[in-house]
A = this chain, B = another copy of it.
Amino acid sequence: MTTEDTFTVEPWCLREPRLELDQLASTEAVLTVANGSLGVRGTLDEGEPVGMPGTYLAGVHELRTMVYTETGSGDPESTETLVNTIDGTAVRLLVDGHPLDVRTGTLLHHERVLDFRAGTLSRELRWRSPDGRSVEVTSTRLVSLDQRGVLALRYAVRALERPVEVVLQSGLVANTQQPHLPSHPSAVDLLEHPLEPQEHDANGRLTLVHRTLRTGLLVGATAHHDVESPAELDVHGEATPDHARFTVRAKLEPGESVTLTKLVAYAWSDTHELPALRDELAGALTVARHEGFDGLLASQRTVLDGFWECADVEIDGDDELQQAVRFALFQLLQATARAEGRAVAGKALTGTGYEGHAFWDTETFVLQVMTAVRPEVTRHALGWRHATLPAARERATTLDLKGAAFPWRTITGPECSGYWPAGTAAFHVNADVADAVLRYVDATGDEEFAREAGVELLVESARLWCSLGHWGRDERFHVFGVTGPDEYSALGDDNVYTNLMLQRNLRGAARWVRRYPQAAEPLEVTLDEVAAWEQAADAVCIPYDDDLGVHPQSAGFTLAPRWDFAGTPEENYPLHSHYPYLQLYRKQVVKQADLVLALFLRGDAFTDEEKLRDFTYYEEITVRDSSLSACCQAVLAAEVGLPHLAHEYVVESALADIRDPEHDSSDGLHVAALAGTWLALVCGFGGLRQVDDGLSFRPVLPDELPRLRFRLLFRGRLLRVTVEPGQATYELLRGEPLTVRHERDDLELAVGVPVTRPTRPRPRPPLPSQPETRAPGRGTLRDDSRPGTPASAGHHEQA
Chain A interface residues toward B at CB < 8 A: 66-75, 79, 185-186, 398-401, 417-425, 470, 472-473, 478, 480-482, 490-491, 493, 547, 555-556, 559-561, 576-583, 585-587
Contact = CB atoms under 8 A, between A and B. Distances in A.
B68 A69 contact: yes
Contact of A69 (B67, B425, B560, B561): B67
In this complex, which of A79, A185, A556, A581 has the most chain B Cβ atoms within 10 angstroms of its Cβ? A581
Contact of A74 (B473, B491, B582): B582
Q: Which 7 A-B pairs have the closest CB atoms?
A: A69-B418, A481-B586, A74-B580, A470-B561, A70-B419, A67-B67, A66-B69
Contact of A398 (B419, B556, B580): B580
A481 B560 contact: yes
Contacts of A576: 72-73
A185 B71 contact: yes
B69 A559 contact: no
Contacts of A473: 547, 559
Contacts of A424: 580, 582
Given A480-B561, A559-B473, A72 B580 contact: yes
A421 B417 CA distance: 16
A488 to B, nearest CB: 12
Contact of A582 (B68, B399, B580): B399
A61 to B, nearest CB: 17
Contacts of A480: 559-561, 586-587
22 contacts: A69-B79, A69-B418, A70-B419, A71-B186, A72-B576, A73-B577, A398-B580, A400-B583, A401-B583, A420-B580, A421-B421, A424-B582, A425-B582, A470-B560, A473-B547, A473-B559, A478-B559, A480-B561, A480-B586, A480-B587, A481-B587, A482-B586
A545 to B, nearest CB: 10
A561 B482 CA distance: 13
A71 B79 CA distance: 15
Contacts of A185: 71
Contacts of A75: 580
A481 B582 contact: yes
B74 A579 contact: yes
Contacts of A547: 473
A119 B123 CA distance: 84
In this complex, which of A399, A577, A580, A583 has the most chain B Cβ atoms within 10 angstroms of its Cβ? A580
B581 A72 contact: yes
A307 to B, nearest CB: 36
Given A69-B67, A69-B419, A579-B74, A481 B559 contact: no
A693 to B, nearest CB: 37
A470 B417 CA distance: 33
A45 B602 CA distance: 73
A689 B481 CA distance: 37
Contacts of A482: 586
Contact of A399 (B400, B420, B583): B583
Contact of A70 (B417, B490, B561): B417
- A interface SS class: loop
A490 B491 contact: yes
A186 B423 CA distance: 23
A549 B418 CA distance: 39
In this complex, which of A73, A480, A482 has the most chain B Cβ atoms within 10 angstroms of its Cβ? A73
Contacts of A587: 480-481
A421 to B, nearest CB: 6
A66 B418 CA distance: 14
A328 to B, nearest CB: 28
A420 B584 CA distance: 13
Contact of A556 (B68, B417, B555): B555
Given A481-B586, A556-B493, A556-B556, A420 B581 contact: yes
A712 to B, nearest CB: 37
A414 to B, nearest CB: 14
Nearest to A586: B481
A797 to B, nearest CB: 30
A408 to B, nearest CB: 10
A704 B185 CA distance: 62
Nearest to A558: B473
A73 B398 contact: no
A482 B583 CA distance: 10
Contacts of A423: 70
Contacts of A400: 579-580, 583
Given A480-B587, A481-B560, 16 more contacts: A66-B69, A67-B67, A67-B69, A68-B419, A73-B576, A73-B578, A73-B580, A74-B579, A74-B580, A74-B582, A420-B580, A420-B582, A480-B561, A481-B586, A491-B586, A556-B556
B556 A70 contact: no
Contacts of A580: 72-75, 398-400, 420, 424
A579 B70 CA distance: 15
A581 B70 CA distance: 12
A734 to B, nearest CB: 47
A490 B491 CA distance: 9
A491 B585 contact: yes
A38 B437 CA distance: 65
A330 B582 CA distance: 40
Contacts of A583: 399-401
A472 B491 CA distance: 21
A555 B492 CA distance: 12
A559 B424 CA distance: 22
A665 to B, nearest CB: 20
Contacts of A418: 68-70
Nearest to A185: B71
Contacts of A401: 583
A429 to B, nearest CB: 14
Nearest to A420: B582
Nearest to A470: B561
A415 to B, nearest CB: 11
A583 B481 CA distance: 8
A469 to B, nearest CB: 8
A424 B399 CA distance: 25
Nearest to A493: B556
Nearest to A79: B69
Nearest to A489: B481
Contacts of A470: 560-561
A421 B185 CA distance: 21
A68 B482 CA distance: 22
A180 to B, nearest CB: 15
